[in-house]
Amino acid sequence: MNWRAVITWLGWISIMAVATVVMFQIRATIDQVHVVLVYLLIVLGASATSGRLLAISLACTGYLLIDYYFQRPYGSLINDKPVDLMALAAFLVTAIVATNLLVRAQTQAEEAKRRAIEIGSLARLGSETLSIGRAEDALARIATVIGTTLGMEDCSIVAWNADTGFGASARSRASDNPAIADPLTRTVVEQPGWTWVRPSGAMVRVVPGDSRERPPAPADEIKKLLIPLSVQNRVVGVLRLEAVTPVRLAAAQRRFLEAITFYAALAVDRVRLVAEAEHAEALREADRLKDIVLASVSHDLRTPLTTIKALAQSEAMQGNKSAGAIEEQADRLTRLVSDLLDLSRLKGGGFAVTPELNTAEDLIGAAVRQTRGLFADRALRTVIDLDSPALIGRFDFSQSLRVLCNLLENAVRYSRGKPVELAACREGDMLVFNVSDFGPGVREEDLARIFEPFFRTSNSAPDTGRAGLGLSIARTLADMQGGSVRYNPRVGGGSVFSLRLPATELGADALEQTADGHS
């Protein structure tokens, strides 16, 4: 019991004593009912200011005082009159019932007031955060509302990412950021649980799964409180509350704290998502600008390259021995420029494909003829699975030919002078063209990026004459036709790149018409 309560008790006891003395002096002129009303008012006043215990104590005391001083025979607690005893009992019961009703009404009023404060805080939090455009400002406003509602001088919300560690913090007051990476905060994110520090410095920690996993009890004085913020069982931050003067959290404040941690966690996650979205938008814009620059530069390079090649051919006719090398390098640059232009057109949607009925034999024959010059000093073996159903599909012949020739050229560069194999078969509803080589293959760390533009594997030759666009263009052209380009390691070493195109079923007459169309 604190000093304020002691003083209140002494005050009401003094009031009852003074009232008793005054009424005793005029006992002959007043009736017993007046005494009862005076004591009843004192009891109700005591219950309104100090609660049930003092009021009931005063009621019992009043019962004894009335019986001893204001009922005949005076000066004795023995009363043989049933009516007088009934009146005393009625006074005592009335005082106790009135006290209980008054205390209950006060408790309900205080609870309603606390609920109103809690709802008002949440409503203010919702309206303020919704009216703020930037996620960081909304997070700072949440910290301010929490600190104000709980009576804490300092409230910080610290972001946490399992990959990058602690991030920026939002704080309820303008000052230097706290030591957000201190051991206590790190312990909360690594082993989530409520943690608070008492004025003595003793730390109380409740781990997840504990039946006592609740905020500090109302009787607990706290100086610092740390709560993990979680979204979908993933810790995204820590709520740090610090008080200069130790505080106790009422039941309504603890309920508010339990509810607000969820909104604080969502706000932290929103900051992360906004940052990731802004980063992704910046990357998209950079990629768009890169495509514009590449397309512009590539287009402008075509004319001077054509002029250089023409001059090189003219010099070669006059016997200049360096002209061949110049023409070769001009052709190399022309291929690079062509690939850059095609990549830009593919990304911009300016490339069209026209799927038609075609046979695998026709596509393979055209690819062999077009790449004949690449296989002057090595073998190209072609294998067609004659046991499969008719190798007929619906695809764009010219674009598919370009993809297949691209894969063959890629195989030649990495085959180390060994043969290259081109095979065709039917797998379900797809035609599969496999280009196999005996090269070094693709390392595991490069598998996820081999189809990205401008990417060259870590084991590629220093100068292969390409810019790393071929596989990216090939996959895009295949995807546009409902097909795909895939990579698999070859048994015994090397690579197998597969072009998969939609197959179709045809009768004999339609098959003959298709063959006539490509004859």
Q: 99: closest CA among 19, 42, 61? A: 42
Q: 250: closest CA among 226, 219, 228? A: 219
**Cβ neighbours of residue 403 under 8 Å, at least 6 residues apart?**
474, 477, 478, 485, 499
Q: 360-370 vs 397-414: helix axis angle to the nearest 10?
A: 50
pLDDT tens string 311-327: 877 877 887 877 778 87
Q: What is the pLDDT of residue 212?
A: 46
pLDDT tens string 4-59: 778 888 888 898 889 888 888 888 888 878 888 888 888 888 887 777 788 788 88
Say whether 469 sits in a helix, a strand or coil: coil
Contact indicator for 57, 95 with CB cutoff of 8 Å: no
pLDDT at 467 over 80: no
Residue 496 structure tokens: 């197998």
For the ranges 145-149, 403-407, 463-467, 483-487, the lowest mean pLDDT is seen at 463-467
Say whether 463 sits in a helix, a strand or coil: coil
More confidently predicted of 67 and 407: 407
Burial class (CB in 10 A: 0-12, 13-18, 19+), 160: buried
Instruction: State the pTM of this model.
Output: 0.47
Beta-carbon neighbour count of residue 518 at 10 Å?
14
Say whether 90 sits in a helix, a strand or coil: helix
Burial class (CB in 10 A: 0-12, 13-18, 19+), 283: exposed
More confidently predicted of 2 and 194: 194
Q: 263: closest CA among 224, 226, 237? A: 237
- The listed range with the strongest mean pLDDT (102-106, 151-155, 348-352, 508-512) is 151-155
For the ranges 159-163, 213-217, 238-242, 488-492, the lowest mean pLDDT is seen at 213-217
Q: What is the pLDDT of residue 348?
A: 63
Distance CA 252, CA 256 (A): 6
Q: What is the pLDDT of residue 211?
A: 43
pLDDT band, very low/low/confident/very high, at 500 (cuts 50, 70, 90): very high
Distance CA 1, CA 54 (A): 13
8 phi and psi, to 5 degrees? -65, -45
Q: Which helix (H) or strand (E) holds 370?
A: helix 360-370
pLDDT tens string 107-121: 777 777 767 766 666
